[in-house]
Structures are given as C-alpha cells and as structure tokens.
Amino acid sequence: MELEAQAKLFGRGMALFRRGALTDAALVLRQLVDAGSMEPLHLSYCGLLAVTVHGRKREGRELCERALQFGDDEPQVISNLARLYELNRENQRAVRILRRGLRATPEHPVLLAQIQRLSPRHQPPLSMLHRDNPVNKLLAILLARISGRYDATARPAATKNPSAV
C-alpha cells in the first residue's frame, strides 16, 4: 500500500476513533497493519483497539510494544502503551513507560496528565525543606522502599550523543 493511501486510511481510522466509533476504527486500522504498515502510530492504535474493542490482550500488547521499538520517541505511542498497561491493571508498568516518555519529552501534556493520574506526587517527608533537598530525597526514597512504591529498575535513559548523528 502506498504511503498516501496509508495516510488517508489512517486519517479515516483516527476520525472514527475520535467520534467514538471504536469498532469501525479498529477495522480500518487493522487493514493498515494487515497491509504491512510498520508505522508506530498505526501499530499502536491498532494494538490499543485490539484490547479495548476485541479484548485481545496479547495481540494488543505485541502491537503496542512493536510500535515502541519503531517509534520510541513518539509520545502518543508511549501514551497508548501506558493506556494498554492500565487497562490490564499493570499500573506500575504504565508509570515506568510514562517516565521513559517524559525523559524524551519532559513537558508533554498528555504524558504528564497520565502519570499524574496513575502516580501522583506525594508531599515531601520534611515539608520545611524543598523537595529537591538531598535529605528530603533520601527520606522519600527510604519511605518508598519501605512502602513498596520504589522501583529500583527504573533507570534514566542513556543520553544521546548529538555528535553521533
């Protein structure tokens, strides 16, 4: 399928999605993926709709995770994968992927809203100190570990070397 035809079909699918015609949107986006599209947004929305419309959790996850491989800097791909994790009641995974997205695009409003809803910030342990104070940071980490909220596997992404481009 030509790129122009793909773009037109994707536009139609997204229009259906925005109107709430999710079953029709799922069919249109499935056509794109079945035709061999590897565009991250196509895969991502198709995966999200596979879960929400048809309840195909494994297929939806595979499509969204494949989309992330091809478009890891696309905030909407990250948002859709987080939504899928949330639908599967995997909120910690959703928060992890949102944090990854926020490292790439720190001020993205959709990602910020999602992470705030799933993982709201807590008050600093010592309110008389700023939350960036090292004592507050250390206490917050200790309290999070005790309560089980701390995820030691969440590591900052490696910085990209601009000279390597």
Give alpha helix (H) positions in the chain. 3-19, 22-34, 40-54, 57-70, 75-87, 91-104, 109-118, 134-147
Which domain covers residue 11, as residue numbers? 3-120
Rounded CA-CA distance 1/4 in Å is: 8
Alpha-carbon span 33 to 31, nearest angstrom: 6
Residues 85 and 110 in one domain: yes
How many domains does the structure of the chain reveal?
Answer: 2
What is the tens place of the pLDDT at every residue in 63-74? 999 999 987 779
Q: What is the CATH number of the domain that holds 92?
A: 1.25.40.10
pLDDT at position 83 is 95
Residues 52, 114: one domain? yes
On whether both 161 and 107 belong to a single domain, the answer is: no
Are 116 and 134 members of one domain? no
Question: Alpha carbon of 153 to those of 34, 150, 159: distances in Å?
Answer: 35, 9, 17
pLDDT at site 153? 52
Contact between 98 and 63 (Cβ < 8 Å): no
Predicted confidence at residue 163, as pLDDT, reads 38
The predicted structure's pLDDT at residue 162: 36
| Together in a domain, 91 and 165 | no
Q: Are residues 145 and 67 in the same domain?
A: no
- CA 142, distance to chain mean position in Å, is 27
Judgement on whether residues 79 and 145 belong to the same structural domain of the protein: no
Whether residues 111 and 165 fall in one domain: no
Spatial contact of 62 and 47, defined as CB atoms under 8 Å apart:
yes
Which of the residues in the chain have pLDDT under 70?
120, 149-165
Place of tokens 């940071």: 137
Are 149 and 85 part of one and the same domain? no
> Tell me: the pLDDT tens digits for 3-22?
898 999 999 999 999 999 99
Same domain, 144 and 83: no
Q: Token pair for residue 152?
A: 């030691």
